[in-house]
Amino acid sequence: MTKWVYLFKEGDASMRNLLGGKGANLAEMTKLGLPIPQGFIVTTEACNDYYARGRQVTDEVKAQISDALAELEKEQGKKFGDNENPLLVSIRSGARASMPGMMDTVLNLGLTDVAVEGFAARTGNPRFAYDSYRRFIQMYADVVMEVSKEKFDVVFDAVKEEKGISLDTDLSADDLKEIVKGFKEVYKKELGEDFPQDPREQLLASITAVFRSWDNPRAIYYRRMNDIPGSWGTAVNVQAMVFGNMGDTSGTGVAFTRNPSTGENLMYGEYLINAQGEDVVAGIRTPHPISMLEEELPEAYEDFIRIADQLEKHYKDMQDMEFTVEDRKLYILQTRSGKRTAHAALRIACELVEDGMITKEEAISRIDAKSLDQMLHPGFDDKVLKASTPIGSALPASPGAAAGRVYFTAKTAKEAGDRGERVILVRMETSPEDIEGMHASEGILTARGGMTSHAAVVARGMGVACVSGCEAVQINEEGKYFTLNGNTIKEGDYISLDGSAGNVYLGDIPTVDAEISGDFNTIMKWADEIRTLKVRTNADTPADAAKAIEFGAEGIGLTRTEHMFFEPDRIPKIRKMILSKTAEAREAALEELIPFQKQDFKGIYEVMEGRPVTIRFLDPPLHEFVPTADEDIKALAKDMGLTFEEVKATCESLHEFNPMMGHRGCRLAVTYPEIARMQTRAVMEAAIEVKNEKGFNIIPEIMIPLVGEKRELKYVKDVVVETAEAVKKEMGSDIEYLVGTMIEIPRACLLANEIAEEAEFFSFGTNDLTQMTFGFSRDDAGNFLDAYYENKIYESDPFARLDQDGVGQLVKMAAEKGRATKPNLKLGICGEHGGDPSTIEFCHNVGLNYVSCSPFRVPIARLAAAQAVLNKK
Amino acid sequence: MTKWVYLFKEGDASMRNLLGGKGANLAEMTKLGLPIPQGFIVTTEACNDYYARGRQVTDEVKAQISDALAELEKEQGKKFGDNENPLLVSIRSGARASMPGMMDTVLNLGLTDVAVEGFAARTGNPRFAYDSYRRFIQMYADVVMEVSKEKFDVVFDAVKEEKGISLDTDLSADDLKEIVKGFKEVYKKELGEDFPQDPREQLLASITAVFRSWDNPRAIYYRRMNDIPGSWGTAVNVQAMVFGNMGDTSGTGVAFTRNPSTGENLMYGEYLINAQGEDVVAGIRTPHPISMLEEELPEAYEDFIRIADQLEKHYKDMQDMEFTVEDRKLYILQTRSGKRTAHAALRIACELVEDGMITKEEAISRIDAKSLDQMLHPGFDDKVLKASTPIGSALPASPGAAAGRVYFTAKTAKEAGDRGERVILVRMETSPEDIEGMHASEGILTARGGMTSHAAVVARGMGVACVSGCEAVQINEEGKYFTLNGNTIKEGDYISLDGSAGNVYLGDIPTVDAEISGDFNTIMKWADEIRTLKVRTNADTPADAAKAIEFGAEGIGLTRTEHMFFEPDRIPKIRKMILSKTAEAREAALEELIPFQKQDFKGIYEVMEGRPVTIRFLDPPLHEFVPTADEDIKALAKDMGLTFEEVKATCESLHEFNPMMGHRGCRLAVTYPEIARMQTRAVMEAAIEVKNEKGFNIIPEIMIPLVGEKRELKYVKDVVVETAEAVKKEMGSDIEYLVGTMIEIPRACLLANEIAEEAEFFSFGTNDLTQMTFGFSRDDAGNFLDAYYENKIYESDPFARLDQDGVGQLVKMAAEKGRATKPNLKLGICGEHGGDPSTIEFCHNVGLNYVSCSPFRVPIARLAAAQAVLNKK
């Protein structure tokens, strides 16, 4: 028979998956002989069983709960519902990973009309007993029966008014009895049944409510944000109540063994005398710093300090503890590894290694790689931020903090930037035409688009803060204002964006620059010693490349050449190329672009100083480059000596039903090989010149995008090689270069063995591969993905975290097939996933050579790559 | 050492792959002792070697050609370039499959300034010799050196004019000598070198030219149309010349052993006295029927009849032969299985079986399944057609012949149809809104879209002729006319469309209905005995279903429910549903649709009489249903009591960047489960009512489209099952039903083992699967696929013929994974590929249970399914 329920004394810390984090630690502390209010744990398996049976708790589980309860009653010498010494318990969730505040809790369970009298007698404090009872009724109704709290507040306030009382603490025991009576009436009215007088019924209903809360919307959202699988389930902890609110010799508090903001090795915490845990959190009374407890309750304080020290040493990590003092006696209610800022995480890890408590490897494993993001970007001044309330929130598309004046077009944003203003660009969505305005902005806010929309990808690349997909934003471009949840913001008004949290604020919140600490460098050094995956960056400009090198990038995995074409001195030339009617005219237009493109590459090569640089050839559909507004078309027509109608017709002929699946990528080079010829010439001439001028040994890696067939790659490669060899000959150089391909089409994965015959490297373009494999586009999926998350069909955003089950199969297949043809085939990833820790671990496990990500994510990737090595061991 | 060259006497008919069809048959006939001008064959492998080496013929191949030539000279007792008895040869291509007229031929090779004199002396006919020489120079320059024929015609005409001669035959030997001189001057002027006087040089250059012609654009196109792989290569036949133009005891002709149009067992052919083969083809002189040869050259005739009979018996098939009589002696130049109409193919196959010459299985194997298409649709009157020239051609999107008056909108087409006119609808492209107008039309012509565009798919479903993607069509909707290659056609003008050939004609060409012969039924009966694959049809209406049953369909594999929503009495209701702001309002709107949808299903069930019916739930993105024109939006707003702005905003919010990868398929049911509930109710109520009323045992198969994940299918399936069970209970029925899914997303293939847990059947939607696997949309691929064909990157349209290398891997994977979970999982295909013979063979080989295709392709599928069984043996 499955054991569904464990007494605390039956478990230990190793049983985290079964008992949840909280339960396993309570068991462990029990084993250590610490003062823990005893109880039992209903396992995560019981939770999964509940869901598997269509939300039913079996009789077997119920029987085991009953047995555990009997054992607890015996041990505590108290009885459920007793009129002399009733047992009261708390019911708390506890998943494998900590999900603070996401699931439900019930306190004081066990109070009934009978038990409350026993409780009053036992504590000698009827006021306290009835206060507990009314709290319990309200909490139970809310959490277990889903009756709104406000229904009870009405009664509570009416009694207070009737008695002319303003402070809750002035209510007498009789007042509270009256309130309890009123609460029970509300309960009956709302639910059509009496408040349950059988504590066992209360208990089962509460345990079920905690199971149910595993699937409430905020828990689902939290899991998605933190990569926690829905299949883990939650355990339920049933624990005897102790009371910190039994007078001035009682109290409750929380404390960290080190400072969670800075990492400083000093006990950090606060407490309240005569209070329950929720009072500390609620913020009605101001708690005291933990050090003051030494004066108020010296024995309890000493005990606590000793135990805290013991726990940190035992768990070898900074602990976050909750405690209660009941009549001078200390109880530990919970301990766990404390949440901390990235700064603190690095400092604590380094100091624990210094103190010999953990190894470097353990230190590396401990740090949440994703959290590094926040410390590299500028952040808001904490004090001002705390005093501000967001007026809206959406996707944290590109981290960092930004404040500035609102503008609605790339043009006005650019102009304001040129005037020296700080700018926030607010758009429905951005397009490549907006690139200049985006460059000129501190931050970008879009109404549409996901984590991998154009705005998000470009902003991350630039290190510009971005909040995307804020559907509540309604832009009136003509009126030059936007509204967001009732606020109207006009052009020129200040707003602030927190791109790490996805929040939008009114006004100009001051920002502070990121400081990179010595601890950061220490941890990065250790990570570099461990990892085997190389880390490259996606960079389109010398500035991006320089930033990435500062963060430790070892090369460029993706330079998008099209972004260079949107500069104002270039776009007319590319438009001319597109509107050319013959290959000759097209070649002439391209000829004019070579010097610009070459200059771009030289700038990047010089910064990279001989590190590998992968250059992707023109990828987007050509219609992205042509104007859409009639006036722009007119200007272009005039410029080219064509009629408006001719130009307009050409622009319209470029329309595609599904541009993502249209004439783009290497398909452009197949139809217009002269484009590939121009780009090859620019790549090669730049490399040879930089080699000659600076002595760097540049080996350009030319990457052909969107290949689905060997002959397609060969066709374009032949053009590249022919041109490259011609350039080498002309310039008398023997420079090396590689030609490879992006693997981003399912067919390329299926036929990777053939494609590898023509490729010197593969780089996985997992953005497109994800789109094609799932059959939905990242720009359109926003309309339905929320429904998918709510219904637990997908648990994470496949554009942020690689779908290892599906897309991962294709990546693995392509890696294996490619290596079957060429055992030393160089493999990398340059999709947005390249900066995601779980994806990086996957890449390590399937044997990729490198990951490539935006500059600010390079440190994350270095750390995650080291963690991948450690996890595999 | 590889043997690259075979003398005729070294080969036989079994060596077709190496020697090509023509070469293998010449060898076989040599073996049979028939009168064949001797020669040798350069193999297909030599051709492939030529391409593999970047278009180079190796010295090894050259040496073997030289040896073979020496052998031929010895055998013929003639010498290359000899001044007394020169050897002349013809050079002809000969691939594994016959590709008539697609590649190059050179005749009279070996003539030089010296040899022409020898030839004149030997034949005693200088005029003939010089005529041959001038023909050779011109042909050689054209075919081998790529100098336009016209350059020579100028000289030829000048001499004729100078001499005052109008008929070529009036030119004297001296005139022809002068022309030869002039031709050689043109040759030198154009090419900067003298006309080669070494016959060996002529020979090698000509062989190389034939190799090269394997990759000329028309050969590539022909191969694509006929599924012939580019990797086969062509052989080259070098054969001693015989001359049918040596006077009145010579002649040349072609003949079929049976009538290739009707199949009648009567020798069918024609000949010319004193002529070469090209004269018969050129049509300058009218050839005589073959029977007349008996009088003119009785011995040759008798020989020919005897040999023809021998060859048909030998090859056990109707033969197409070329022969030449040189001075009363008969030579056979070629034999091959003759091309024939579908009617003739069926009759010949049946009669050969009757005569005991071949088995039923051989008969089945022989018939080109694709050719059945032409005989099921109405066709044009042959005589009128022959007198007409197409004014344009494009994709043969839906077979059949149609003539009618041109209209440019669905509305006007419908109105004209209602007036009793025959209508041809001409559109840029069609959309689901056009469905009524399409129904009212005899044929559809579109300027955009491929073989699987909306117009093509719907037209094939309806059995309406369609020519699609005719890019030369320029429509002026306002002016109510279109132009096509210089012709202007106004609204109301007649045009005719040949949907089987993809041709467009001016005027009203009369059509004749298809007649289904007894032979057809015989062959179908034999096919049904052999095949194991079931054949279903894609049908959205009772009429389509009835047509399909007439053609032998065994069930419906795909009913697209959305097509039912475009009827004028329904579209307002679906629009109301889409514009609903709440689930309740949406349910109310859907409620109104149930009776219509139920009526549709009842109609289909009644026709199908208990055969299986697969019903696909709503698939297209919702924006396809909403109006786009402002006036329609206004009308709708008025109808719904909303403002224009509200309705317009909702319509615009449905816009998607990539609708193909957007909010459609089961994603609609996940976000709006009430749609699935409505459809389930209609499916089930209809089935129960038809069962009760007619006694047919209906087992509806409900198909959920676009699934990519097990939980997604389960979510929708739960809604379906809940509703279906409720309907059963309400109506007191115990009817059975299945719930399955379309497999059309790569991820579904990769995770088919999981998806099979929730599916009772899989049906492969290979249209979408092809799009996602290749990463291009069928509507947009037209812009670049031509460049892919020209560059031999792809050899066939992946939307017409399943890409077995890539997409096929996914289909196979999904079939295997699905059956690993459920060994008896029912598997089918309902994409457009389901009617393509090569795809059907693939489906048979991977173990599918059925294919489903449009009604007119059902017989093709039955035959192809039988052929698949035979091919596997």
Dist. CA B788–CA B777, nearest whole Å: 15
**Cα A61 to Cα A236: distance, rounded to the nearest angstrom:** 12
Q: What is the mean pLDDT of residues B377-392?
A: 86
Which tokens hold the place of B730? 């309400």
Q: Which residues contact A383 (CB under 8 A, 6 or more apart)?
A: none
- Model confidence at B574, pLDDT cuts 50, 70, 90, reads confident
Per the model's pLDDT, the better-predicted residue between A219 and B737 turns out to be B737
Residues A183-229 pLDDT 10s: 999 999 999 999 999 999 999 999 999 999 999 887 887 888 778 89
Residue B241 Cα to chain centre, angstroms: 36
Give dist(CA B332, CA B328) in Å, integer: 13
User: Are B331 and B251 in contact, with CB atoms under 8 Å apart?
Assistant: no
Report the C-alpha gap between A375 and B58 in whole angstroms: 67
Element (H, E) at B857: none
Partners of A772 on chain B (C-beta within 8 Å) are 746, 772-773, 775
How many Cβ contacts (< 8 angstroms) between chains A and B?
Answer: 164
pLDDT, average across residues B185-195: 96
- Look up residue A842 and give its two tokens: 């996957």
Nearest-CA neighbor of B209 among B92, B110, B96?
Answer: B92
CA distance B490 to B647: 36
- Around Cβ B66, how many Cβ atoms within 10 Å? 14
DSSP A86: B
Q: pTM of this prediction?
A: 0.86
Mutation target to probe the A interface, by most A beta carbons within 10 A, among B623, B793, B813 is B793
pLDDT digits (tens, 9 = 90+) for B838-868: 999 999 999 999 999 999 899 999 999 999 9
Which residue would you say has higher pLDDT here, B477 or A710? A710
Residue B572 — very low, low, confident or very high, per pLDDT cuts 50/70/90?
confident
Cβ–Cβ contacts within 10 Å for residue B158, how many?
13
Q: What are the tokens at B146?
A: 């790529």
Q: What confidence tens digit (pLDDT) does each residue in B308-325 have? A: 999 999 999 999 999 999
Mutate to test the interface with A, among B578, B771, B783 (most CBs of A within 10 A): B783
C-alpha distance from A845 to closest chain B C-alpha (Å): 19
At residue A759, the pLDDT reads: 98
Question: Average pLDDT of A363-371?
Answer: 91
Beta pairing partners, B324? B252, B331
Is there a contact between B744 and A807 if contact means CB atoms under 8 Å apart?
no
CA distance to A120, A567, A637, B7, B474, per residue, from A644 (Å): 90, 23, 5, 66, 19
Give the active site residue among A651, A666, A749, A830: A830
Q: Which two tokens stand for residue B700?
A: 């509806």
Is beta strand A5-7 parallel, antiparallel or unpaired with respect to B761-764?
Answer: unpaired
pLDDT digits (tens, 9 = 90+) for B202-252: 999 999 999 999 998 878 878 887 788 999 999 999 999 999 988 899 999
Q: Each residue of A761-793: pLDDT tens digit? A: 999 999 999 999 999 998 888 889 989 988 889
- Say what the pLDDT of residue B268 is: 87
The amino acid that residue B156 corresponds to is F
Query: In this predicted structure, what is the pLDDT of residue A598?
Result: 95
Q: How would residue B104 be classed by pLDDT, with cut points 50, 70 and 90?
A: confident
Cα(B833)–Cα(B116) distance, integer angstroms: 57
Closest CA to A384 of A516, A513, A512, A499: A512
The shortest C-alpha distance from B129 to chain A (Å) reads 47
Check A439, A454, A623, A833 and give the catalytic one: A454
Angle between helices A630-640 and A644-653 (to 10 degrees): 120
What is the full DSSP assignment across A224-242? HHTT--GGG-EEEEEEE--
Residue B284 has pLDDT above 70, yes or no: no
A577: tokens are 């190329």
In which band, very low, low, confident or very high, does the pLDDT at B461 lie, cut at 50, 70 and 90? low
Which pLDDT score, from 0 to 100, does residue A219 have?
Answer: 86
Residue A583, pLDDT > 70, answer yes
Q: pLDDT per residue over A475-495, tens digit each?
A: 988 889 999 999 999 999 999
Q: What's the pLDDT at A191?
A: 95
pLDDT grade, residue A729 (50/70/90)? very high
Lowest mean pLDDT among A230-244, A675-689, B783-797: B783-797
The size of chain A, in residues, is 873
**Is the separation of the CB atoms in B276 and B78 below 8 Å?**
no
- Spatial strand order in the sheet of A494-498: A392-393, A503-506, A494-498, A401-407, A423-427, A443-446, A465-468, A395-398
Please report the pLDDT score of residue B127 as a whole number: 92
Task: Indicate the residue of B670, B708, B803 with minimum beta-carbon distance to A775.
Answer: B708
Give residue-wise pLDDT tens across range A815-834. 999 999 999 999 999 988 99
**Cβ within 8 Å of residue A582, ≥6 positions away:** none
**For position A633, what pLDDT does the model report?**
87
Please pick, among B651, B830, B843, B853, the residue that the annotation labels catalytic.
Answer: B830
Rounded Cα gap, residues B153 and B172, in angstroms: 17
Nearest alpha-carbon partner for A342 in A377, A309, A310: A377
Question: pLDDT tens, A372-396?
Answer: 877 788 888 888 888 888 999 888 8
For the stretch B582-617, pLDDT in tens is 888 888 989 999 999 999 999 999 999 999 999 999
**Widest distance between CA atoms in chain B:** 102
Question: For residues B232 and B131, what is the distance between their CA atoms, to the nearest angstrom?
Answer: 37
Instruction: Give the closest of B662, B792, B810 to A776, CB-based.
Output: B662
Which of B343, B377, B439, B454 is an active site residue?
B454
Summarised one tens digit per residue, pLDDT across range A109-145 is 999 999 999 999 988 899 999 999 999 999 999 999 9
How many other CB atoms are there within 10 angstroms of residue B259's CB atom? 19
Q: What is the mean pLDDT of residues A305-314?
A: 96
Label residue A460 by pLDDT band (50, 70, 90): confident
Mean pLDDT, to the nearest integer, of A228-235? Answer: 93
List the structure tokens of B111.
């003539």
* The pLDDT of residue A427: 93
A571: pLDDT confidence band, cut at 50, 70 and 90? confident
Angle (CA) B830-B832-B836 rounded to 5° is 105
List beta partners, residue A483. A474, A488
> Cβ B775–A747 below 8 Å, yes or no?
yes
- Whether B651 is a known active-site residue: answer no
Beta bridge partners of A256: A268, A320
Strands B474-476 and A329-337: what pairing?
unpaired
Band of pLDDT at residue B395, cut at 50, 70 and 90: confident
Backbone angles phi, psi at B203, to 5 degrees: -65, -50
pLDDT > 90? residue B471: no
Q: Is B267 helix (H, G, I), strand (E, B) or coil?
A: coil
The pLDDT of A56-61, averaged and rounded, is 96
pLDDT at B283 over 90: no
Distance CA B46, CA B56 (A): 10
Contact A772 B768 (CB under 8 A): no
A796 Cβ contact partners less than 8 Å away, ≥ 6 residues apart: A224, A227
Q: Give the closest-approach CA distance of B807 to chain A in angstroms.
A: 7
CB B664 within 8 A of CB B675: no
Give the pLDDT of residue B100.
74
Choose from A667-681, B390-404, B651-665 the range with maximum mean pLDDT: A667-681
pLDDT, tens digit, 9 for 90 and up, residues A842-862: 999 999 999 999 998 999 999
Ramachandran region, residue B65 (left: φ > 0; alpha: ψ -120 to 50; beta: rest)? alpha
Q: What is the pLDDT of residue B778?
A: 87
Look at the alpha carbons of B215, B217, B219, B221 in this order and tell me if their dihedral is positive or negative: positive
**Most confident of the ranges A640-649, B420-429, B732-741:** B732-741
B-chain residues near A809 (CB < 8 A): 750
Mean pLDDT check: name the lowest of A54-63, A67-76, A556-565, A862-871. Answer: A556-565
Query: In A, which residues are within 8 Å of B658 by CB distance?
Result: 658-661, 777, 779-780
Using a CB-CB cut-off of 8 Å, the residues of chain A touching B670 are 784, 787-788, 791, 793
Longest dimension (CA), chain A: 101
Give the chain A residue nearest B710 (alpha carbons): A793
Residue A283: the pLDDT is 53
- Indicate which of A784, A786, A811, A813 best probes the interface with B, i.e. most B CBs within 10 Å of its own CB: A784
pLDDT in tens, A683-725: 999 999 999 999 999 999 999 999 999 999 999 999 999 999 9
What percent of chain A is predicted at pLDDT more than 90?
70
Residue-averaged pLDDT of chain B = 92
Chain A: residue nearest B752 by CA? A806
pLDDT band at B407 (very low <50, low <70, confident <90, very high): very high
How large is the average pLDDT for residues A404-410?
Answer: 94
Q: Are A696 and A690 in contact (CB under 8 A)?
A: yes
Beta strands in B469-619 (DSSP E): 474-476, 481-484, 487-490, 494-498, 503-506, 511-512, 534-538, 556-560, 613-616
CA pair distance A216, A219, nearest whole angstrom? 5
pLDDT at A646: 84
A377 noted as active-site residue: no
Q: Tens digits of per-residue pLDDT, B768-823?
A: 999 999 999 988 888 899 899 888 899 888 998 999 999 999 999 999 999 999 99
Cα–Cα dist A202/A60, whole Å? 18
- The full length of chain B comes to 873
Question: What pLDDT was estimated at residue A452?
Answer: 59
> What's the pLDDT score for residue B279?
67
Measured CA distances, B55 to A726, A758, B47, B211 (Å): 21, 20, 9, 9
The separation between CA A427 and the C-alpha centre of its own chain, rounded to angstroms, equals: 23
CB contact under 8 A, B780 and A661: yes
Average pLDDT over residues B429-457: 81
HEC secondary structure over B87-136: CCEEEEEEECCCCCCCCCEEEEECCCHHHHHHHHHHHCCHHHHHHHHHHH
Q: Name every residue whose Cβ is closer than 8 Å to that of residue B240 and which is 6 or more positions away in sequence.
A: B37, B38, B39, B72, B76, B78, B87, B88, B89
Cβ-count burial B93-109 (b if 16+ within 10 Å, e if not):
bbbbebbeebbbbbbbb
Output the CA–CA distances (angstroms, integers) from residue B824 to A705, A838, B323, B535, B760, in the order listed.
41, 37, 58, 18, 9
Do residue A772 and residue B776 have CB atoms under 8 angstroms apart?
no
Residue A648 neighbours by CB under 8 Å, 6+ apart: A630, A633, A637
What pLDDT is recorded for position B565?
82
**What is the ipTM for the molecules in this complex?**
0.86
Q: So what's the pLDDT on residue B605?
A: 98
